[in-house]
Amino acid sequence: MTIEKKEQEHRLHDLKNVNGPVVMRMAPSPSGPLHLGHSRMAILNDEYVKRYGGQLILRIEDTNPQNIDPVAYTMIPEDLKWLNVNVTQIVIQSDRFELYYEKARELIRKRAAYMCTCEVDTFKELLMAGQACPHRDIEPESNLEKFQEVVDGKNRDASPVLIIKTDIAHPNPSVRDWIAFRRIKGTHPRTGNKYSFYPMMNFSVAIDDHELGLTHVIRGSDHISNTEKQKYIFNYFGWKIPEYFHYGNISIPDSILKTSIIKKGIKEGIYSGWDDVKLQTICSMARRGYQPETFRKYWIDSGLREVNAEFSWDIFNSINRQFIDSGADRYFFVKNPVPIKIADSPEVMSRIPKYQGKPERGFREYMIKASSELFITREDLENIKDGEKIRLKDLFNVRYNEGTFRFSEIEPSKEKIKIIHWCPSESKPFKVERPDGSFDEGVLEPQGIERNGIFQFERYGFVKKVSGEFGIYIHN
RNA sequence: GCUCCGAUGGUGUAGUCCGGUCAAGCAUAUCGGCCUUUCGAGCCGACGACCCGGGUCCAAAUCCCGGUCGGAGCACCA
């Protein structure tokens, strides 16, 4: 009997209620460029649109002028392009304020929304007690008037809000009569000072999800109660509610993802910019040598569950390794180099394959003079025992005795001995930046100097080489 | 305060909706071996899991109830 292993490909589960093409969206706020966490929703949405056909809308949610960094308007589409996410339409919410106002007026006329000028604390207290605020039953005409006044920017001193009527006794207090618009001070990067009464995310999202014809919305579990709130809008208008799926949040260890912290860090010089190696922004990870395919495979493999999970750098790096390994020629980089002299060695030509098992890729060749000086890492030197024989990879064997290396033989030993890498004396200084911002300093073999790109430095790790003297560590 | 969700090996997951093909798949980690020279890449192999209790059923990782544990979110950010 032969046991056949069934090859199981990781596959995202199907979406519910798919009838024909889907319309989906991703909706980042433009507080900065996209990061690793964002890439998940982008790729997952993209995968489903690829599966079913349809539209993928990028909707930039810039309805809070205090939370916008203008660079995001250009960086977000670039990040998505790099991730190979196929956006079919871009919608910017700040283009649509008039639409939101119009829908708000309709809701006021339906007695589904009202203007309120209660103090924040008073309003909250009433809500917690399940009591209506005195403004709740004011006639639509009066509300429309007040709404228009605020939209027109009159009565600057008060802090009016537009509230959506839901259920004042709803078991979840946060679902009870929620705020749809509030006044925000500050200049909007795209609309300037034209508007000051801004829609809350729950309002603009509900309107746009309908107006843009969304069929399926997948988003984080942090939106569960928002979905409930937004459904009130759909019901007031009699709109068809999209199919929602809420996935669990992924916590990404050892990462800095909060744009506010990143911006502060950039200002203070802790980070060199959005693409600083210490950050997990898409632009940084791209610069560091991560591949777009890695993001996609990782997120598909992780699946789409309602449970929260933890991101695994081990697995992510392992996937990336699969994508970069075959393209990465090997070179010797000796970190913390120590020059050693080999006694009694003959002149030898060392011929090292650029890629093990693929001679067609070529060789690195070095003529090593008799009794030459070479570099090895301090770590290797410290670990050599007196009397030990070791192999200098693709060169010859040496024996270490009382502080001196003596040539032993060219042919590889039959017995197992330690194999270490080395660099010829004419190697050049080279620096590698680590993901924590520290630097490894050493020497790189001469033939590795000219070429830039992704390489594996043997026994060290994969490095994205950006110049003749500098590279960025990717992972081992 | 309230609402919601989940529990599969060290880690990340597939399977759970529609119970049998699951004596549980994949990946990663670890360990071992192999590449007639990478301790760190690659290839091969091994190890290793269905939270607990009860119920339904011929049959439960899968359905129901209880418990325990864990997580998340919300109240003028998105």
What is the nearest nucleotide to A315, using C1' and CA?
Answer: B28
State, as a whole number of angstroms, the distance between the CA of A435 and the C1' of B8: 33
The residue lying closest to nucleotide B40, measuring its CA against C1', is A459
State, as a whole number of angstroms, the distance between the CA of A305 and the C1' of B63: 20
Question: What stretch of H or E contains A144?
Answer: helix A140-151
State, as a whole number of angstroms, the distance between the CA of A237 and the C1' of B77: 26
Looking at domain A22-95+205-318, which of 3.30.830.10, 3.40.50.620, 2.102.10.10, 2.20.25.570 is its CATH number?
3.40.50.620
User: What are the CA-CA distances from residue A117 to residues A66, A101, A146, A170 (Å)?
Assistant: 22, 18, 10, 22
CB A112, CB A235: distance < 8 Å: no
* Calpha distance A457→A328 (Å, rounded): 9
ipTM: 0.85
State, as a whole number of angstroms, the distance between the CA of A41 and the C1' of B31: 37
User: Strand B: which positions are within 7 A of a protein CB?
Assistant: 1-8, 10-16, 25-29, 35-42, 70-78
| CA-based torsion, A85, A88, A94, A99: positive or negative | negative
Contacts 24+ apart (CB under 8 A), A100-106: A100/A181, A100/A199, A100/A203, A100/A204, A100/A207, A101/A151, A103/A207, A103/A237, A104/A147, A104/A162, A104/A180, A104/A181, A104/A199, A104/A203, A105/A144, A105/A147, A106/A237
Write out chain A's pLDDT in tens, 476 residues: 222 333 334 567 778 788 889 999 999 999 999 999 899 889 989 988 988 899 999 999 999 999 899 999 999 999 999 999 999 999 999 999 999 999 999 999 999 999 998 888 888 888 877 788 888 889 999 999 999 999 998 877 678 899 999 988 887 888 889 999 999 988 999 999 999 999 999 999 999 999 999 999 888 877 888 888 899 999 999 999 888 888 877 888 888 888 888 999 999 999 999 999 999 999 999 999 999 999 998 888 887 777 777 788 888 998 999 899 888 999 999 999 999 999 989 998 998 989 887 888 888 999 998 888 999 999 889 888 888 888 899 899 999 988 889 998 888 777 778 889 999 999 999 999 998 889 999 999 999 998 999 999 999 999 999 999 999 999 98
In CATH terms, the fold of domain A330-475 is Ribosomal Protein L25; Chain P (2.40.240)
* Tokens (6 digits) for A212: 């843009």
In CATH terms, the fold of domain A97-199 is Glutamyl-tRNA Synthetase; domain 3 (3.90.800)
What is the nearest nucleotide to A61, using C1' and CA?
Answer: B78
Domain limits, chain A: 22-95+205-318, 97-199, 330-475
Burial class (CB in 10 A: 0-12, 13-18, 19+), A326: exposed
- pLDDT value at residue A11: 67
